[in-house]
Structure 1
Amino acid sequence: MAQEIPTEAKRFKQVREDLGKTQSEFADLLDAGSTTADIERGKKKITGKIVTELLRQFNVNPLWLYGNSYNKYLETSTSTAPKIITMDTNDRENMIMVPIKASAGYASNVQDTDWYNELPAFNIPLPQYREGSYRAFQVQGDSMLPVLQPQEWVMGKAVESVRTANDNRIHVVVTADSVLVKKLRKSESPEAVNLISLNREYPVIEQAVVEIKELWEVNSKLSFDLDVHEGEEAMISLKQGLDSLREEIQSIKKGNTFKKLL
């Protein structure tokens, strides 16, 4: 039985043919040695370095390359898609973890393959994480209390541009000098967005869109704090009170029905 050629190999070949290059010429452009023919046959995997070169030289969208986007090329001035992704030994995309200590250098290394390879990475074998690229970031500070606690982890799905971002959702926003976890709210001007902390002690940040390097919509979190917090206690108490009230109302209704029958 013939080996099925993976999506990234087919699209790698498509890029080469669109550029009108031979396999040898394409290999020279990407500094890939003699591996391009084997990549197209599905015998070798595309390295992170080659993915980076495809983006840097030809604006090829890494998400498109692996079948996770319809947009083949990126407008680098407005793109917030990841510039580098890493793969595991089974040719599945890794979920890279960015701890607090690494977040300070994250923005300045968005195209440094070697730096990314030093970060921990893992996979979550759940259907919610099969479509798109995901990354995990550790929460720093208390600006997103009570929803996100300090040092918890959030998992975010890559967003291609601010224009396609879902409004009023929590995002990880990567700029030239920071990695922020905030609720993103679009403004009337397409040139800026508002970054909102759930903790009202923090002011709203007006962020220029052009300065956003990456954008990840948070869809889940990993927490090691199982204590019930004060706000959650209040909600539980309120729910219990409402449940008791419903039971009393049902009891009164049954009593009235019984009297009528008599």
Structure 2
Amino acid sequence: MSLFSDNIRVLRVRQKISQEKLAESLQITRGRYVKYEDGTSEAPYEILKKIARYYHMSIDLLLSVDIRKIDIQHLLKLENNRLVLPIMVDHQGENYIEVVTQKVKAGYLNGYADPEYIESLQQISLPFLGPGKHRGFPVEGDSMPPHEDGSIIVGRYVERLGDVQDGKTYILITKTEGMVYKRLNKNKKNALVLESDNNFYPNYEVRLSDIIEIWEYRCNIGRTDKKQELNEIQDLKELILDVKREVNEIRKNKQ
């Protein structure tokens, strides 16, 4: 028997639902459903989606996590898409902030839906962040100054794509790019445009179908007290002022 077949049996028994009633809700015969539960047949994608929606649980969890080992109450239920996000809470019921360090970053794409993996992450508490589910992610490179390589960006989970605001920064977890921190623009129908604050790096697109998670920037945890260099910004301002003065002089001479 597969993990999936064990999971759907456990969920059905927990909710005290008969195989006949569940099959009826899925719009299939009881005989067909029984094959999924006893592991003699694999459920097609359309049936997987129906079962996931029925239990308000993600397909990832149904296929890859032993439901018997987790507390369903410690899963964050989301609206509309009916996905389930593993979360950790303290004794007062407040959400911990799990921190995805550089050391465990590579495993996040496989473990983001696994409560055991999420529980293994380092945890901190930042009460000033307010409501919402927060998580920390490492920054790489120099594409998003002033955030430096090695800093941690704490983001708030975005439940709906419609909540993404043009020009704001987000951590994206994608199938193709992995984990990235960029400024987003929704000027494409089926894709997001990712922009770096460092102009050296070109913009690029990520298809909506490739996006796994989006986390809105809330705060930065850095490791340096280095004074931010403002010389380049000041030089640019002075250059613009010089151009304006020259334009004004040209206009005066023409009058």
Provide TM-score, normalisation by structure 1.
0.59
Long gaps (5+) in structure 2: 1-11, 19-50, 59-72, 238-255
Secondary structure of the equivalent of 2:150? Answer: coil
Equivalent in 74, 82, 85 of residue 81 of structure 2: 74
What does residue 100 of structure 1 align with? 102
Residues 208, 72 of structure 1: CA spacing in aligned structure 2 closer, same or farther, 3 A cutoff?
closer
Q: CA deviation at 1:73?
A: 4.2
Aligned 1:176-191 pairs, distance under 5 A: 176-177=175-176, 178-189=178-189, 191=190
> 1:228 and 1:26, CA in 2 relative to 1: closer, same or farther beyond 3 A?
same
2:210 is the alignment partner of 1:211: yes
Which residue number corresponds to residue 132 of structure 2?
132
| 1:121 positional shift | 0.8
In the aligned structure 2, how far is the partner of 1:176 from the partner of 1:123? 29
TM alignment of 1:76-225, pairs within 5 A: 83-126=85-128, 129-145=129-145, 147-177=146-176, 178-189=178-189, 191-225=190-224
Superposition RMSD in Å: 3.3
Deviations 1:153-196 (A, max 9, x none): 1111110122221221100000125100000111241x101011
What is the identity percentage for the equivalent residue pairs of Structure 1 and Structure 2? 23
Q: Unpaired runs of 5+ in structure 1?
A: 1-22, 30-53, 77-81, 239-262
Q: CA deviation digits over 1:57-91, x for unaligned, max 9?
A: 62359xxx89x98x644255xxxxx7211112322
- 1:102, distance to aligned residue in structure 2 (A): 1.8
Cα distance in 2 for residues equivalent to 1:212 and 1:184:
13
1:226/1:59 Cα in 2 relative to 1: closer, same or farther (>3 Å)?
A: same
> Is the Cα contact below 8 Å between 1:60 and 1:73 reproduced in 2?
no
Task: Answer yes or no: is the 8 Å Cα contact 2:79–2:159 preserved in 1.
Answer: no
| In 2: Cα distance, 1:57 partner to 1:150 partner | 43
Mapping of 1:21-36 within 5 angstroms? 25-26=14-15
Give, in angstroms, the shift of residue 112 of structure 1: 1.2
What secondary structure is seen at the aligned counterpart in 1 of 2:109? helix
Amino acid at match of 2:142: D
Q: Is the 8 A contact 1:59 1:73 kept in 2?
A: no
SS at match of 1:216: strand
Q: Per-residue CA shift, 1:26-53, capped at 9, x if unaligned? A: 2799xxxxxxxxxxxxxxxxxxxxxxxx
Higher relative contact order, chain-length normalized (CA < 8 Å, sep 6+): 1
CA distance in 2, matches of 1:148, 1:228: 13
In the alignment of these two chains, the number of paired residues is 178
Amino acid at match of 1:193: L
Q: Aligned match of 2:55 in 52, 55, 58?
A: 58
2:8 is aligned to: none
